[in-house]
Chains A and B, each alone.
Chain A
Amino acid sequence: MDIFLQQIVNGLVQGSIYALVALGYTMVYGIMGLINFAHGEVVMIGTLVTITVAGSLIKAGMPVALAGLAGMMAAVLVCMALGWALERVAYRPLRHAPRLTPLITAIGMSIVLQNLAMMVWGRNYLTFPSFLPSVDFELAGAHFTAIQVIIVLVSAATMGALLLLVYRTKLGMAMRATAQNPAVASLMGVNVNRVIAAAFIIGSALGAVAGVMVGAYYEIAHYQMGFMLGLKAFTAAVLGGIGNLAGAMLGGILLGIIEALGAGYIGDLTGGFLGSHYQDIFAFVVLIVVLMFKPSGLFGEKSGDRA
């Protein structure tokens, strides 16, 4: 029972991070139908920028918590700019190209960003400065640390803010309208270009927050870390029903928990044949199974053929 609860806690933490990244995928996909493969790289750059900024501020004598906050702000700003630039330079010219074209561009940008990051930050693992004392809490037999609590709280707050933005502001309404039908939205006076840019910028900001938290959680970062994270977050978005914000959040958390439980129990389940290093396959196995039985995702609406 202890393991079970512990894995639920771990899964919730990891899942909050997936959820934040998944939101970036789902917003862009919902509005323009593009899998933005480079989103995982945006997250990675968020982590690495935080390391550089916070690291040098700490070295300059700034209090650790303040430096961490400054690092996060810097990461959010850099990533927003990066998201904006990606859309403007790489995707916007391809708005009316065949479906495969922007996807290949996205893959290309992903490769470019990874290798740029490698040139800037090198190919070695970087350590993330510890912002917080490692306090341990215990509840009903499950242990958790201050950073885990903070990750869940920050994710919840960020997602809450996003929901407010999307459902309570004019920009949010324009975004929802564009997702429904870009042509009609533009007839109604919505500036579709601005909406798409906003989706990229907001998604990247969420990605940056997620990047900071991944770094803080694992205390380690690497130029290739964005790939697997991005892939799983996209899986989470599909799991929840792509294009659906609440679905991305729930899908992310669900995926985190499934992975954690899977990793905790796979040894027992297979009689020791498969160990916890198979953790990464759960995301994809779950994805395939869900798509088999509920193609529109767990929380997505049924999308029939458009005749």
Chain B
Amino acid sequence: MNFGRFFRSTVGIATLAALLVALPFVAAMGGQAWVRILDFAILYVFLALGLNIVVGLAGLLDLGYIAFYAVGAYTWALLASPHFGLHWPIWAILPIGAGLACLAGVVLGSPTLKLRGDYLAIVTLGFGEIVRIFLNNLNAPINVTNGPQGITLIDPVSFGAFKFSGTTQIFGFAVSGPQKYYFLLIALAILVIIINLRLQNSRIGRAWQAIREDEIAAKAIGINTRNLKLLAFAMGASFGGVAGGIFSAMQGFVSPESFSLIESIMILAMVVLGGMGHIPGVILGAVLLTVLPEVLRYGVGPLQMALFGKMLADPESLRMLVFGLALVLVMRFKPAGLWPSPVRRRELQETGK
């Protein structure tokens, strides 16, 4: 069966839409925790597709993506919480967060993007650590970030009187906070999917792919590689900033530990495992890597009890172990990702013969 064609047909789109609308209500039967997991899955879809522009299209290895997410998250947290007593509206904070993240991307990218790709990897990685260290320590002498304790009581997303936290009655249905965020996030995810699709088949997107494939040849046909790389990097950073803001509002709480290197690696892994540059693959990667650890979290302990009658290994580390192994194995046996783009897949089969 051809999924691609099915999802492009009207019936396919209608089915998909119905599924997406029903999903949070089905998940709620297992408890609101599962709706929250769903929310995170979509948030990660958004993040991963933002990073896909940087890594998948332009081929820039960004290992500090989460730092831009942190910039967005703390921007929201500081401008909409009792911490400074500010409660700015969403239409002000979200652009500021995205703008600051973008600015950070430009400042970081302009010296490094003319260098070899590996240097970008290490510089972005270092930048991620710098941001985390500042978040952890900027509580004295002036308390900006409140240090490791983080910032609490952050305002939820709201449009006028309509708040995304708490339960609301809509058409006689009781819709919970996480369920409302679900729909907001779906809307954002659709937006970023459209942006990805349109960029991919555009003049700019082709130039990015050309840079990814061969930078010298790209220059020879007149592509200003430095500016275009900076553009990709800054765009990715802005997406990170927006996602961070939503994360902040959704959680109502941020602290530096949400922005560790492993988060950057997770998002990169979503892009690469799913199928770099191939949008459905990236979505699959994001959903898989958000939901799988949760399943493992709930499954590993009981499974061990059932099999061995006792806990042999700490579930948390077993979960990470499985994740690490999955990265290694997928790279070994499916180097183009789990769901590579059809052209690439055809290529792999052809060379396989």
Are the C-beta atoms of B137 and A275 separated by less than 8 Å? yes
The answer to whether B324 and A104 touch across the interface, beta carbons within 8 angstroms, is: no
> For residue B119, which residues in chain A have a CB less than 8 angstroms away from its CB?
238, 291, 295
Whether B314 contacts A110 by the Cβ 8 Å rule is no
Interface of B is mostly: helix
Interface string of A103-128 (1 = CB under 8 A from B): 11101111110111011000100000
Q: Whole-angstrom distance between the alpha carbons of A101 and B276 in the complex?
A: 11
Contacts of B315-353 to chain A: CB distance below 8 A? 317-318, 320-321, 323-328, 331-332, 335
At the interface, yes or no: B125 with Cβ under 8 Å from chain A?
yes
How close is A282's CB to chain B, nearest CB, in angstroms? 10
A93 on the B face (CB < 8 A): yes
From known contacts A280-B133, A295-B115, infer whether A112 and B122 are also in contact, taking CB-CB under 8 Å.
Answer: no
Tell me, yes or no, whether A65 is within 8 Å of chain B by CB: no
- The residues of A that contact B111 with a CB separation of less than 8 Å are 288, 291-292
Residue B104 is within 8 A (CB to CB) of chain A in the complex: no
Alpha-carbon separation in the docked complex, A303 to B118 (Å): 14
Cβ-defined contact, B328 with A284, below 8 A:
no
Q: Are A94 and B335 in contact (CB under 8 A)?
A: yes
Closest to A305 in B: B216
The proximity string for B residues 234-273 relative to A, scoring 1 for CB distances below 8 Å and 0 otherwise, is 0000000000000000000000000001100100110010
How many residues belonging to B are interface residues under a CB distance threshold of 8 Å? 49
Output the least CB separation between B133 and chain A (Å).
5
A115–B317 touching, CB < 8 Å: yes
Asked whether, in the complex, the Cβ of B335 is within 8 Å of the Cβ of A101, the reply is yes
A133 at interface, CB cutoff 8 A: no
User: Are B327 and A108 neighbours in the complex by a CB distance under 8 Å?
Assistant: yes
Q: How far in angstroms is the closest Cβ of chain B from A214? A: 19
List residues of chain A with CB within 8 A of the CB of B335: 94, 97-98, 101
B2 to chain A, nearest CB (A): 27
Centre residue among A104, A105, A238, A307 by max chain B CB count within 10 A? A104
Please indicate the chain A residues that have their CB under 8 angstroms from the CB of B175 in the complex: none
Asked whether, in the complex, the Cβ of A112 is within 8 Å of the Cβ of B268, the reply is no
A169 to chain B, nearest CB (A): 29
One of B133, B142, B276, B317 near A278 (C-beta < 8 A): B133
Contact call B314/A123, Cβ cutoff below 8 A: yes
Contacts A107-B265, A116-B321; is A287 near B331 (CB within 8 Å)?
no
Q: Is the CB of B126 within 8 A of A284?
A: yes
> CB distance A105 to B327 under 8 Å?
yes
Which residues of B have CB within 8 Å of A100?
A: 55, 61, 272, 276
Task: Tell me whether B276 and A272 are in contact (CB under 8 A).
Answer: no
B321 and A234 contact, CB distance less than 8 A: no
Interface residues of A in 259-307 (CB under 8 A from B): 272-275, 277-278, 280-281, 283-285, 287-288, 291-292, 295, 303, 305-307
Task: Determine if A105 and B331 form an interchain contact, defined as CB atoms under 8 angstroms apart.
Answer: yes
| B-side contacts of A274, CB under 8 Å | 137
B141 interface contact, C-beta 8 A: yes
CB-CB under 8 A for A107 and B313, given A288-B126, A291-B119: no
Say yes or no: B331 contacts A94, CB within 8 Å. Answer: yes
Q: How many residues of A contact B (CB 8 A)?
A: 53
The yes or no answer to B28 lying at the interface (CB within 8 A) is no
State the CA gap A124–B92 with chains docked (Å). Answer: 45
Assuming the contacts A105-B331, A238-B119, A275-B137, asked whether A111 and B324 have C-beta atoms less than 8 A apart, the reply is yes
Is A102 positioned at the interface, with any CB of B under 8 Å from its CB?
Answer: yes
**CB <8 Å contact, B126 and A112:** no
Contact status B137-A94, CB under 8 Å: no
Say yes or no: is A88 at the interface (Cβ < 8 Å to chain B).
no
Tell whether, in the assembled complex, residue B126 and residue A283 are in contact, meaning their CB atoms are under 8 Å apart: yes
Chain B neighbourhood of A116, CB < 8 A:
321
A104-B327 contact, Cβ under 8 Å, with A98-B335, A115-B317, A295-B115: yes
List residues of chain B with CB within 8 A of the CB of A110. Answer: 324
Nearest-neighbor residue (CB-CB) of B61 within chain A: A100
Contact of A90 among B112, B134, B140, B328 (CB under 8 A): B328
Q: How far is the CB of A132 from chain B (nearest CB, A)?
A: 33
Identify A107's interface contact among B117, B123, B276, B327, CB under 8 A: B327
Instruction: Give the shortest distance, in Å, between B104 (CB) and chain A (any CB).
Output: 13
Q: Is B121 an interface residue (CB 8 A)?
A: yes
Is the CB–CB distance between B325 and A99 below 8 Å?
A: no
Closest partner residue, chain B, to A285 (CB atom): B130
User: What A residues does B136 contact at CB under 8 A?
Assistant: 277
Q: Is the CB of A231 within 8 A of B327?
A: no
Contact with B along A233-262 (1 / 0, CB 8 A): 011001000100000000000000000000
- Report B323 CB to chain A, min CB distance, Å: 6
Chain B CB within 8 A of A74 CB: no
Q: Give CA–CA (A123, B118) in the complex, Å.
A: 32
Which residues on the B side are within 8 Å of A93 (C-beta)?
A: 332
Given contact pairs A119-B318, A288-B112, A291-B115, enumerate 5 new A-B contacts (beta carbons under 8 Å).
Answer: A103-B61, A105-B327, A115-B320, A281-B129, A307-B216
Pairs A–B under 8 Å by Cβ, sample size 16: A90-B328, A97-B335, A100-B61, A104-B268, A108-B331, A111-B320, A111-B327, A115-B317, A119-B317, A277-B133, A280-B129, A281-B130, A284-B127, A288-B123, A291-B115, A291-B119
